[in-house]
A and B are shown apart, each in its own frame.
Chain A
Amino acid sequence: MYEQRLRRLLAVFYVLLGVIGARAFSLQVLGAEESAGRTWASLADRSREFIVHPRRGEILWADGSKMVSNVPTYGLEILWGTVDLRIVPTVEDLRAAYPAGLSAERRSALESKLRRVRPKLLMPAGATQPQQRWACRYCGTQRASRGAPTRRCRDCTSLDYEEVPPLYPEDLAILLETSVHRVHVALIAAMGRWEMNTHWRSHAMLARIPDSAVESLSLFPERFAGLVPLARNGREVDAAGRMIAGGTRLPDREDLARLTDERRAARGLHVFRTESVSPALVGSSLIEKEYDELLRGIPGLSERSRTRASDFEARTDVIRPVQDGTDLRTTLLRNVQLLALEEVERGAPEGGHGAAVVLDVRSGAVIALASTSRDAMDHARSHVMPGSVYKIVTAVALLEAGHSPDEILTCEGRARIATGGRYVCMHSDGDIALRDAFVRSCNGYFSQQAAAVGADGLVAAARRLGLAARPLLGTFGSGRSTRAGLEYSRPGKGDPELWRRWNLPQIGIGQGAASASPLQIAVAYARIAAGGRLLQPFVLERDRPDPATIPVDPVLARWAPFLRDAARSVVADEEHGTARREAALAALRAAGKTGTADTQVRGVKRNNTSFVGYAPYDDPRYCAIVVFENMPQKRYGAEAAGDPVARLLAEALRE
């Protein structure tokens, strides 16, 4: 039995070796015939792997329509070192390819570009292709030669060549499904750059090319040598969305260092490394930056391979499926946002800034957030000197400290108070209580009371109202100011007690060291309007809280009816209300507060004017604030900002 088993074992090994031999025969002998004269090696790689770019997540309006549309697409890089020069157009080609209706200026620009290019690169009309190109059948190496090359291939010593079909710009245009004109212009522009630096990697000349062209370009690199498709992201931004999602900025020094080709940088040139420039600049600010990981998705991997039947058919296999980016739905209402942008652009003074915020009082959702700024600075979330709208903080501090709302103080118009600080009031209001002081915006009353409740009381009240040091709505684009708004609570240089004594009267009326962003002020008034519910602003639907879980602040809840009544009187009190002249607010049954802060721009006195209001006053639904920074003098809060707030509230209520 032993010998029998030994023989069987030997037989098994012989069979296995025989199978391996048969496989080698099929690869080495049959395989060569099957590929019709092309060895496997001549194709080098029969298949190529590609990164499949995911669809970037969209940023959507509250109604689900697109605010920012990110389009994954491909560009074309032209590597002049290896590009097939036969695609260089003739001068006449270019002129013939001018599109009908090309403007004289554009034609002139093209002509001048044409003249700069070294003439010998642009072949004269009628010139034939100077040399044919031949590819080694064995290893694919190309060479230029008149007639079939007689010298052996320098890579594999083969003498077996096949002619590479000539490549004309028209062929390229068909491949790219774009006009000959665009291809020509791209080539000319690339040549112009090449003239400046012959080592230049000219790239991204054609912004968008179809996927089918990418496939062909990648599968047949020997035919389209020097043309490399580049993945990139195109972006279409709705005008109304640019503030919150489409903010672009120029790359800063750090970006340049990261993206620049190091060898170029050593010579003082900035050349983006092509593979990273586009994705890096999309999503560089605001919501796009904050949620970039979600929006970006995860690239997939696919393989395209030529089938055995024909080299010109390709099939695509998915190796790792692509995961598209996540769409982000915002709480922004398109019409309200558009109107907010329009209002701040119309109302902002020359050289000044404007900002508007509209909140949903029921949930804290931001339904509009606008700023005149076109840079990444977001004035809706940057701190400003708020003016009298800040008196709500002093009022809450006063009530929380146990002062009676009926406590009477005397306003003398302009006076030094007990702490040593001074105030200036528009009118001498005489003996006055809290409600009237709020309606008339009496500086005398609030200055004296702020000094009485002290810094700690103001800090506690500011916290209750949401004027926290932490920027609201995440960290994106949080703007220029790093001031916390509560700086007065921290001892500065010198004697802190002295600092407080002199500054508290100013802070109590929203002047001096007082600081808050328009969004924070809006949140403070929305909390009062919501009966003391501690609303937190949010801009993405995914952050929407369960209404039942929103906590209620006991102090705010206790005094909210009183403060809402006072705010209503600011609009409704026909005798003293500081916004009594704004009929539009009255018509909406709005309540609110005016604010005017004294500022200076290069020594010239200016005002920050603002109005914050909500409507309807008996069942508040929306709260809006409009702030114009650095307005010329004599433009008080309600005058400049009252009407815009009324229009925003009306639009929001209509939605």
Chain B
Amino acid sequence: MSSEYVRGGGRSLGVSQRWTEIARALDPRVLVPALLLCALGLATLLADRPEFVAGQARWMAVGIVLCVATVILPYRRMLALIYPAYGLVLLALVAVLLLGREVNGAQRWLQLGPLGFQPSEMAKVAVVAVLARYIRFRRDQRTVKGLLTPFLLTLMPLALIVKQPDLGTALMLFPVLFVMLWAAGARSKHLATVLMLGALSIPVLWTVALEPYQKRRVMTFVAPVVEDARDWAGAYLPRVVSVTALPLRAAGGAAGAAAAGADVDARAAAAKLAQDERDARYHRRRSMIAVAAGGFSGAGFRAGVMNRTDAVPESWTDFVFTVHAEERGFLGVLFLLGLEGLLLLGLATTAREVKEPAARLLAVGAMTLFGAQACQNLAMTVGMAPITGLPLPFLSYGGSSMLSSWILLGLALNARAHKPMVFTERDFD
């Protein structure tokens, strides 16, 4: 790779030409689905929590402005500053552990004056950008040794996010890392080996890293799936002890045994575990009921019983899809899935059309993050995945998530506005 390419400042353009380029960069194939998703989010919020609509609209406007600003700034300049920015994000993640505000048992929020934000949301953007910056001109990702640094860059924020604990966000960084490496030409067998090693380390992580409530959530998901499968197979085996009970017995039994010794703390801990477990089961069941209640054409605006009775907790953030599904039915679900598909298609097109490696990686990273987050969120609301605290991009209520989504979108689109001079047709391979 020539040094001119590395330091190339792009073509020299006039002011009007530059703005034309920028306007062209705001690709409607990406922006229209994103805006429609935002509008859908606002409409859902209007039915569920009207008092939050103004705030959400404000965050959305700020997000769009940031997106445009991100498009205006040359991405190469931004990438030149990405390591200090990455360092700042790591610092913010450490700060959140020390000074953070606790919400729902997790310490995820950092308070800056009147504003609270989640550094973990920024970490997602930072990881995509830092990986793009690191991998762009390298070829050594095709070797095992070359994989080490990208993994290190991802695992540092990931460990801090797991510590908060925010397992859902942390898990999203894995697909981003793997897909970006894969797209950059890493060998599939290397990545598969790493994945296999990761799978083998699950028992260790299960005992060391997961909080009891997170274990419960996973088991709450696993057990009914097994039961459903048994139902469908038509085999009514004896149900004296359900599948649910088996993995829970160890924790419950240990707590129970301690409680038998009149240990008040152990009794409280057992009660807490039981409560977590009930919450997770309740949550899953309620969200499925709400989705099912939508039927084919939906209950109509503000007419969903589950929505009106606040039957689904967190229905304005992580479970926003349940409200949408109940009010607009299967047709609405198809519409939303279609928008998600279009957004991913638009980002894939961008990733194909831009030529510079970092730009491609940014687009691939953004696409992976949006795709994985949407799939996980939708799957958990329809009972196909364990419940993790993960917002649906552009729809869920929340400033940090909205801003980080729009910034990421701006980064992905940026390369269209600042096309570098290309001296080589070298692809990743």
Contact = CB atoms under 8 A, between A and B. Distances in A.
Contact of B384 (A23, A40, A41): A23
B295 to A, nearest CB: 6
A9 B348 contact: yes
A195 interface: no
Interface string A279-320: 000000000000001100110010100001000000111111
B182 A24 contact: no
A41 B351 contact: no
A6 B367 CA distance: 10
A69 B259 CA distance: 23
Interface string A7-18: 101100110110
Interface stretch (B11-19, B55-63, B151-159, B371-379): B371-379
A20 B364 contact: no
Nearest to A39: B293
Interface residues of B, number: 66
Interface in A118-173: 138-139, 155-157
A13 B347 CA distance: 12
A413 interface: no
B382 interface: yes
B213 interface: no
Interface stretch (B20-28, B88-96, B200-208, B325-333): B325-333
Contacts of B270: 298
A410 interface: no
Contact of B231 (A20, A21, A308): A308
Contacts of A7: 348
A39 B291 CA distance: 11
A156 B185 CA distance: 56
A138 B239 contact: no
B103 interface: no
B348 A10 contact: yes
Contact of A298 (B259, B306, B351, B429): B259
Interface in B238-296: 239-242, 244-245, 248-249, 252-253, 256, 259-260, 262, 267, 270, 274, 277-278, 281, 285, 288-296
Nearest to B357: A2
Interface in A80-102: none
Interface in A400-425: none
A28 B337 contact: no
Interface stretch (B34-42, B112-120, B338-346): B338-346
Given A20-B375, A317-B242, A318-B242, A39 B295 contact: yes
B303 A3 contact: no
Contact of A41 (B245, B289, B374): B289
A250 interface: no
A29 B330 contact: yes
Contacts of B245: 317-321
A27 B381 CA distance: 11
A307 to B, nearest CB: 8
Contacts of B183: 2, 5-6, 9
B262 to A, nearest CB: 4
Interface stretch (A45-53, A490-498, A502-510): A45-53
A301 B253 CA distance: 12
A9 B364 contact: yes
B337 A17 contact: yes
Given A17-B341, A27-B291, A298-B270, A157 B185 contact: no
A619 B296 CA distance: 91
A13 B428 contact: no
A78 to B, nearest CB: 27
A319 B248 contact: yes
B274 A28 contact: no
A13 B285 CA distance: 26
A13 B262 contact: no
A291 B156 CA distance: 51
A323 interface: yes
B344 A10 contact: yes
A13 B344 contact: yes
Contacts of B277: 319-320
B262 A23 contact: no
A178 interface: no
Given A20-B375, A156-B305, A317 B295 contact: no
Given A6-B352, A138-B305, A323 B360 contact: no
A19 B305 CA distance: 26
Contacts of B242: 317-319
A31 interface: yes
B313 to A, nearest CB: 14
B344 A41 contact: no
Given A9-B179, A41-B305, A29 B295 contact: yes
A32 interface: yes
Given A13-B375, A155-B305, A308-B231, A6 B344 contact: no
A104 interface: no
Given A318-B245, A319-B248, A40 B337 contact: no
A21 B340 contact: no
A20 B382 contact: yes
B292 A20 contact: no
A325 to B, nearest CB: 9
B218 interface: no
A56 to B, nearest CB: 13
A578 to B, nearest CB: 48
Given A13-B371, A24-B325, A155-B305, A1 B285 contact: no
B334 interface: yes
Contacts of A318: 240-242, 244-245
Contacts of A47: 285
Contacts of B341: 13-14, 17
B51 interface: no
Contacts of A9: 179, 182-183, 348, 364, 367-368
A294 B260 CA distance: 6
B4 interface: no
A489 interface: no
B337 A2 contact: no
Given A49-B278, A318-B242, A326 B382 contact: no
A20 B239 contact: no
Contacts of A326: 260
A326 B252 CA distance: 18
A315 B333 CA distance: 33
Contact of A29 (B244, B262, B296): B296
A27 B292 contact: yes
B249 A28 contact: no
Interface in B144-170: none
Contact of A31 (B244, B292, B333): B292
A220 interface: no
Contact of A6 (B241, B267, B288, B364): B364
Contact of A28 (B294, B344, B352, B360): B294
Interface in A19-73: 19-21, 23-25, 27-29, 31-32, 39-41, 44-47, 49
B330 A25 contact: yes
A40 B344 contact: no
A401 B262 CA distance: 46
A297 B256 CA distance: 9
Contact of B352 (A3, A157, A303): A3
Given A9-B348, A13-B344, A32-B296, 7 more contacts: A1-B428, A2-B185, A9-B368, A28-B295, A317-B245, A318-B244, A320-B277
18 contacts: A2-B183, A6-B351, A9-B364, A16-B375, A17-B375, A20-B375, A21-B333, A21-B337, A28-B330, A40-B289, A45-B285, A303-B281, A315-B239, A317-B239, A317-B242, A320-B248, A320-B256, A323-B256
CB-based closest 4 A-B pairs? A293-B262, A317-B242, A41-B293, A13-B371
Interface of B: 179, 182-183, 185, 231, 239-242, 244-245, 248-249, 252-253, 256, 259-260, 262, 267, 270, 274, 277-278, 281, 285, 288-296, 303, 305-306, 325, 329-330, 333-334, 337, 340-341, 344-345, 348, 351-352, 360, 364, 367-368, 371, 374-375, 378-379, 382-384, 427-429
